[in-house]
Amino acid sequence: MTMLKTLAPYEFKSRDAVENYQGRQLLYVNWERHRMFSRPFVLAMKPETPFSAVLEEMAACFSYHPDWQHIDWDKAIWQNGNTPFTPDRNKSLKDNGIGHKDLIRFRTPGLDGIAGTGY
Amino acid sequence: MDMKVAKKLGLKERYALMTRDLAWDTTYQKMEDVFPQTTYEGIKIHDWDKWEDPFRLTMDAYWKYQSEKERKLYAILDGFNQNNGHLSVTDARYINVLKLFLGSTPPLELMAARGFSMMGRQMNGAGPRVACQMQAVDEYRHFQTQIHSISNYNKYYNGMDEFAHQQSRMWYLSDGKSFFDDAITAGPFEFMVAIGFAFEYVLTNILFVPFISGAAYNGDMAAMTVGFSAQSDEARHMTLGLECIKFMLEQDPDNLPIVQRWIDKWTWRGTRKLASVGMMMDYMLPKRIMSFKEAWEMYVEENGGALFKDLARYGITIPKCFSQTIEEKEHVSHQSWIGFYMKPQATPFHTWIPTPDEMDWLSEKYPNTFDQYYRPVLEFFDAQEKAGNRFDNKTAPMNCQVCVSTMKFNEPGDPMEMCFRESIYQGEKFHTCSDHCKEIFDNEPEKYVQTFISSHQVLQGNCEPDGVDVNAPDFKPGQDMLGYWKLDKRALGDFNGSEDQKNFAAWREQATKN
Amino acid sequence: MSNAFIAFQKNDESRCIVEAILEDNPNAMVDDQPSMVKIDVPNRLVIKRETVEEKIGRSFDLQELQLHLITISGHLDETDDEFTLSWNS
Ligand SMILES: [Fe+2]
Ligand SMILES: [Fe+2]
Ligand SMILES: [Zn+2]
């Protein structure tokens, strides 16, 4: 239950409601145990965008890390938020079950960052 | 001949005459109509006269001492500037800390001035009204003198001239802006806990005491004098915040749970705001007097701990976040520096990798964390930079919906894992950086759904420089962030190779030779 | 028991104030830092006008402390003769 107390009616829209993105939706991507990138990055994409486009963005950012070239893609573990899922690179975000403001957490077992520090 | 001269009035009498006795209750209008703000938060006050400023400072004494502080301050500033003081700082990296300070602090002083002007109007009692008005004037003075003292550096170094434009636009200034916006849009009592208690009592001690002492240690007399001059007012501000908390707790037992929730909330919001101060102390001061961790222990754990122990007699308990802040003091300054280092094209100040000596200092000060988690990646960055492949993460950040920090903190208990929390409100997902920010969101979602997150605003097409046609068919948002932020290109990038670095070396050379 | 503390900018007047504090608070601990000095006293720290006047060689109004103060910790009570910081716990 809200604890908000106000002197007058108080109704404001969410500043990041999906309708503010001209047909696109927000998506966050994090490579777990590779904290060199400090925080996840955010993209705005149409729900029809194929998941392969996300992979391209990931490569553009994450390939700076020496672990990138050692990834065994068959062993990668994907989560949408805290829920495991297996993305299909040829299917759209929507068909992969990815909605507005979802956070994709990408794990690469055995790769734990520079000198195993998580960075 | 001995003669008894009529003694001037004592402090207590003078204070009573010149504050409470000059106030009156309204009769043409009902008091509750004149002061509507002090009841709606649920705080019950029975006797406003119970609030007394323990400094017992009256307006006449206030003007007298403040004007003397200003005279001292400007005499030192003049001397510093006339003497080319900017060349006496340890090395040119130091100046970057001033750039960050200028962007982040004076605008918040101005917000404090606005907030306390409102408090000076909204509070019923004469005691708090007068103290709040004095504080409003103080905060305005801090805003002005900080800009004055740094303006001399602006004549020589890049990246300082657009701080006012950048305040509400730059990604990394959002956390401080959101802190004050949250406080000022709350009711007056919550504002007093947020600013009077959390900001003044906890934060300014770290920002203006060890950090400013560090500025002095690095030869910056301008920042030292302005910092200490401001902090001399803060002693009064802390007292006001503490008095307000005691006053609420003494007036009615029903106030306890409300005050406790605010203390929990604002201690945490203050902690998040301090992450960048930690990095200023540990990474940006070329000569260091104490680590952020040591400052945290002295001013937050001991000093804050003393306060919470004292308030226990009213039923106040230590804020829920306290144990997490103790764990995080070993990490946040390193995590912050990495977050800034990787964005060389998105701040008006330079970043760099600490020298081997400086890394050794960090190992010594952070024996539990630095070598284990942070040194290897910093050494990797260093090697990459030397090989001509300096790190530049071009992506836009994910931020916490409450504190608006980038989501860069670790899961409590596991420094290798990121911490993410989420809430669903009216069908939409909202992400927070911690249990404490999540709780703040869940308590008042109506408020935090409005948070301004700059990377999201960019993607909505709201962050374009003048002249960009957002309706053009080929419009892509966020293509000219430097233009939107008004970032001076000379101020970007690594410190190594910067114009500031070259100029400082050349001018110092000139200053010491014919 | 918690410490009450006070910190001053280092200058000629605060040097005398610190001397007075050390005289009136036998348990005081001095922490010398660049351009500032911090004094901690367990539970209760008092500054007495008379002692400061003795050290400084002139009459002294305790409100002049405002000019040199950097920070304080503890509940404050200020009268014409004493400036006290204390914790109740
Ligand atoms: Fe201030
Ligand atoms: Fe203040
Ligand atoms: Zn947060």
Q: What are the pLDDT digits (tens) for B133-159? A: 999 999 999 999 999 999 999 999 999
Q: Work out the number of other CB atoms within 10 angstroms of the CB of residue B461.
A: 18
Residue B421: strand pairing partners:
B432
**Under an 8 A CB cutoff, do B449 and A22 touch?**
no
Domain boundaries defined on chain C: 3-86
Residue C69: strand pairing partners:
C8
Question: pLDDT at position B210, please?
Answer: 87
% chain B with pLDDT above 70: 99
Chains A and B touch (3+ CB pairs under 8 A): yes
> In total, how many domains does chain B have?
1
CATH number at residue B56: 1.10.620.20
pLDDT higher than threshold 60 for residue B1: no
What is d(CA A96, CA A82) in angstroms, rounded to the nearest whole number?
A: 15
List, in sequence order, every beta strand (DSSP E) within C23-87. Answer: 29-33, 36-42, 44-48, 69-73, 75-78, 82-86
Which ligand is closest to the CA of B409, given by its number? Answer: 3
The CATH code that applies to domain C3-86 is 3.90.56.10
In sign, the C-alpha dihedral spanning A51, A53, A59, A61 is: negative
Question: What SS3 state is found at A83?
Answer: strand
Burial class (CB in 10 A: 0-12, 13-18, 19+), C47: buried
CB A93 within 8 A of CB A49: yes
Question: pLDDT at position B6, please?
Answer: 63
Query: To 10 degrees, what angle do helices B210-217 and B221-251 make?
Result: 170
Indicate the residue of A5, A41, A117 with minimum beta-carbon distance to B372: A117
**Band (B202; pLDDT cuts 50, 70, 90):** confident
Q: B-chain residues within 8 Å CB-CB of A10?
A: 446
**Band (B86; pLDDT cuts 50, 70, 90):** very high
Question: pLDDT at position B5, please?
Answer: 61
Question: pLDDT at position B67, please?
Answer: 95
Which ligand is closest to the CA of B106, given by its number? Answer: 1
Ligand 2 centre and the CA of B200: distance in Å? 6
Burial class (CB in 10 A: 0-12, 13-18, 19+), B391: buried
Ligand 3 centre and the CA of C40: distance in Å? 34
**Under an 8 A CB cutoff, do B377 and A114 touch?**
yes
Q: Which residues of B242-276 are buried (b: 16+ CB within 10 A; e: fewer)?
A: bbbbbbbbebeeebeebbbbbbbbbbbbbbbbbbb
Question: pLDDT at position B235, please?
Answer: 87
pLDDT higher than threshold 90 for residue B208: no
Nearest to B172 by CA among B429, B362, B408, B354: B408
Question: pLDDT at position B232, please?
Answer: 87
**Under an 8 A CB cutoff, do A81 and B453 touch?**
no
Search chain A and give the residue with CA nearest B397.
A41
Residue B411: strand pairing partners:
B414
Q: What is the mean pLDDT of chain B?
A: 94
**Band (B211; pLDDT cuts 50, 70, 90):** confident
**Band (B35; pLDDT cuts 50, 70, 90):** very high
Q: Which residues contact B297 (CB under 8 A, 6 or more apart)?
A: B329
**Under an 8 A CB cutoff, do B417 and A117 touch?**
no
CB A67 within 8 A of CB A106: no
Q: Which residues of chain C approach chain B closer than 8 Å at the C-beta?
A: 2-3, 5, 7, 9, 33-36, 63-64, 66-80, 87-89
Q: Work out the number of other CB atoms within 10 angstroms of the CB of residue B47.
A: 10
Q: B-chain residues within 8 Å CB-CB of A46?
A: none
**Band (B471; pLDDT cuts 50, 70, 90):** confident
Question: pLDDT at position B470, please?
Answer: 85
Which ligand is closest to the CA of B200, given by its number? Answer: 2
**Under an 8 A CB cutoff, do B238 and C66 touch?**
no
Nearest to B491 by CA among B163, B214, B221, B185: B163
Ligand 1 centre and the CA of B181: distance in Å? 16
Structure tokens at B219: 């030869």
Which ligand is closest to the CA of B142, given by its number? Answer: 1
pLDDT higher than threshold 80 for residue C89: no
**Under an 8 A CB cutoff, do A12 and B444 touch?**
no
Q: Is there a domain that residue B337 lies in? A: yes
pLDDT higher than threshold 70 for residue B2: no
Query: To 10 degrees, what angle do helices B59-82 and B126-154 make?
Result: 10
Distance of CA B303 to the CA centre of its chain: 18
What is d(CA B156, CA B148) in angstroms, rounded to the nearest whole number?
A: 14
**DSSP assignment letter at A42:** E
φ/ψ of B72, rounded to 5, equals: -60, -45
In sign, the C-alpha dihedral spanning B381, B383, B386, B389 is: negative
The yes/no answer on whether domain A22-116 falls in CATH 3.10.20.560 is yes
Nearest to B96 by CA among B333, B340, B289, B271: B340
Distance from the B112 Cα atom to the nearest Cα atom in chain A, whole angstroms: 21
B-C CB pairs within 8 A amount to 97
φ/ψ of B398, rounded to 5, equals: -95, 135
* H helix runs in B274-408, sequence order: 275-279, 292-296, 303-311, 322-328, 332-341, 356-365, 375-386
Residue A78: strand pairing partners:
A106
> To which residue do tokens 């306060």 refer?
B307
Indicate the residue of A10, A103, A112 with minimum beta-carbon distance to B420: A103
Q: Is there a domain that residue B336 lies in? A: yes
What is d(CA B422, CA B398) in angstroms, rounded to the nearest whole number?
A: 13
ipTM of the complex: 0.98
Q: Which residues contact A106 (CB under 8 A, 6 or more apart)?
A: A29, A30, A31, A32, A58, A76, A77, A78, A79
pLDDT higher than threshold 90 for residue B105: yes
Tell me how far apart the 2 most distant CA atoms of chain C are, in Å.
Answer: 36
**Chains with at least 3 CB pairs less than 8 angstroms from chain A:** B
Structure tokens at B440: 């703040």
Q: Which residues contact C82 (CB under 8 A, 6 or more apart)?
A: C46, C47, C48, C49, C62
Q: Is there a domain that residue B5 lies in? A: no
Does B88 lie at the interface with C, CB-CB under 8 angstroms? no
Does A73 lie at the interface with B, CB-CB under 8 angstroms? no
Which ligand is closest to the CA of B107, given by its number? Answer: 1
Which A-chain residues 11-40 have CB contacts (< 8 A) with chain B?
11-18, 20-22, 24, 26, 28, 30, 32-33, 35-40
φ/ψ of C88, rounded to 5, equals: -90, -5
Ligand 1 centre and the CA of B203: distance in Å? 11
**Under an 8 A CB cutoff, do C75 and B242 touch?**
yes
Does A2 lie at the interface with B, CB-CB under 8 angstroms? yes
Q: Which residues contact A37 (CB under 8 A, 6 or more apart)?
A: A31, A61, A62, A65, B342, B393, B395
What is d(CA C40, CA A14) in angstroms, rounded to the nearest whole number?
A: 49
pLDDT higher than threshold 80 for residue B189: yes
Q: Which residues contact B171 (CB under 8 A, 6 or more apart)?
A: B346, B396, B397, B399, B406, B454, B455
Indicate the residue of A16, A38, A44 with minimum beta-carbon distance to B453: A16
**Under an 8 A CB cutoff, do A103 and B408 touch?**
no
Q: C-chain residues within 8 Å CB-CB of B239?
A: 72, 76
What is d(CA B428, CA B446) in angstroms, rounded to the nearest whole number?
A: 12
Pairing of strands A102-107, A25-31: parallel
Ligand 1 centre and the CA of B74: distance in Å? 17
pLDDT higher than threshold 90 for residue B204: no
What is d(CA B442, CA B423) in angstroms, rounded to the nearest whole number?
A: 7
Q: What is the mean pLDDT of chain C?
A: 95
* Higher-pLDDT residue of C34, B441: B441
**Under an 8 A CB cutoff, do B444 and A3 touch?**
yes
State the amino acid at position C72 in one-letter form: I
* Higher-pLDDT residue of B476, A94: A94
CB C66 within 8 A of CB C12: no
Q: Is there a domain that residue B260 lies in? A: yes
Structure tokens at C12: 């000629």
Distance from the A69 Cα atom to the nearest Cα atom in chain B, whole angstroms: 16
pLDDT higher than threshold 90 for residue B398: yes
pLDDT higher than threshold 80 for residue A84: yes
Distance from the B333 Cα atom to the nearest Cα atom in chain C, whole angstroms: 22
pLDDT higher than threshold 80 for residue B340: yes
Ligand 1 centre and the CA of B369: distance in Å? 33
Distance from the B497 Cα atom to the nearest Cα atom in chain C, whole angstroms: 31
CB B425 within 8 A of CB B402: no
Question: pLDDT at position B9, please?
Answer: 87
**Under an 8 A CB cutoff, do A12 and B450 touch?**
yes
